[in-house]
Structure 1
């Protein structure tokens, strides 16, 4: 199949070859010229042969003039017929016509009316002596001898065949000579050139010079040199492009790596920033505990979970006893330190799932999920005792403070977090009214 495709391509190449077209043009011009010359030669032969026959008809006139004159003078029709029959027997005479001085046909033999006929005419006169011994010419008749073009063709048939054969032989010989010359000096070099071009691969042009096998410094040699020079230039350009592409690829890789690193660093920074923003939005800036908003967000989720899972949930409300007096006596900076110490003391005592938040100035709230009331009270007592043991040292004195707790648990299906907080807040008020530093539930 592959060989057939190659043969088909070569056939198409031959059909489209400039050299073949050139050969066809030369052959066509020479063939037309040969045909014209051959026709002219045949025409000349026809005319020459016709003139020979006309000359022969003239010789017939000269050889039979006297006998025809005598027969016509004495009106011997038999003699005229005998002479006419004899003339008709000649190979080149096809007919004879004798007319009087009024152009009336008085005698006719053979073919005398045909578009292919040609003729030789002559007049027959009789001279006799009249008064005073003078000769007088009397017109007897007009004689016309006819011959046919077929006779001419028959005579030159061999010559015409010879001319045609000679023209054909000359044409074939000339075509073979021209073909041989063109094949050696044009077809073969061009074929090598085309084959060389087809074998050239743009991927590697090194050592791909084409040779068309011509030593003479002619136009084809110039084409060969120019094409090979172009191949070298293309290879040089290709290598430069490859080098440039490699540099671009290397630079692109470096840029991509740098960009990926920057994107990764920026992504980390954004994640850290997002975490910080999230933490800032959810965290009390002073104590680092959950703020009021985040407390309610997490608290509502825990309350919904407690409803679904039928688990207990306890809410603590607490604040620092006499915190306003501490602020008024020692200043807000000391008050802030007290709040921070409180948060740092309570946080380690809580479970991982407990939600502890600062929801006001000195007010704090705690949600304990899946913990019974007894366990929650015990947790509140541990926190209260731990806070009572805090000693905040100033320059000249030590500050101690206490806290009060109010607790309420989730009991009914329709209770909201605000409802439970309100109940816990009431218990906190009771703890303060009953002397502070207490846990009421």
Structure 2
């Protein structure tokens, strides 16, 4: 505890943050943590990056990048400005702000797995001191900050809102989208108390162009879920429309493009082989799980989840029918999957539906290969295993496969060359709009 007045603790921390004299600790140096660390470093803050992976720590400290869209030059510049990475969690005591950017996956029962958040918090609790702010950015269900972080942060006798400050501010990153950077994406911030909110606004106010304060951490947590559930539900809708349109002999992409000319009341969403990324396939289930505590059944959200999870099987069904029409069986056929990152022009493999397509093809007896200019070697993943490297695309290579499945529409692919040489292309992204004998839309 501190013998300073409560207002003085908050005021001194706010002054440190706004004058950029504060030390910013980023816990979890991945797709969310790294851009945030670089942004604070660019502004002149001393940054401490924490990660349990010593190899990642060493890589970053040596000025190298493990994320494709973050150049090594940016890491080197941050290091030169004083950024340092460490696996020593006791050094969290040095930081004035601790920003938690760790994964929040689902377990095998599709229930929230908060172990990364809770174990991370417990690891730094012994080193907490008065005059710090703890901000959780990981996506989670409403109530997590109050139910999981609050008791842990206050367990050592520090009073939240007086001695130490607790904030929830959901991450908003869109890898591969050149139109937005960390500082140009508005930042939602919720505090456990009014004082916590003021500290949270001071923390992010220097780094982000626009701060969007809300009245509680619960409201901030729900905001993040609504954003991603909105996308998941609308993608589920358009995926279902794709199936109906296909059965009717209608090109769903033509329909969407035409509907998108309406200047009001319509937002274009496009179908695909399923949902990918850390947020959209996972976040809806955080709310459905929490809603059951209140006796509610979120039917709309769960239905969209069922539709989206069925898309990889739909794509593989198209592969099977395409091969059958060519008097071939899926078993024993050579199938090339184009693009295994979850979205175009990035190397992010999290929850990629392409991997499930590959597994379904493999399990059915196909000889599976892949090509992805952003993923040269199939990475180690918790739930998926392939001992494969990316295949270089040439006319001869393309022609050697019985089927080519386009699952991620990277800009680096030569689509004209692929169409000209492939025996059949199963297109799940709507790249090929003009009809062709060897193009099958999925």
Higher relative contact order (CA 8 A, sep 6+): 2
User: Aligning the two structures, in what range does the TM-score lie when normalised by the shorter sequence?
Assistant: under 0.3
Normalized per residue, the structure richer in strand is 1
With structure 2 as the length reference, what TM-score do the two structures score?
0.16
Name the larger-Rg structure. Answer: 1
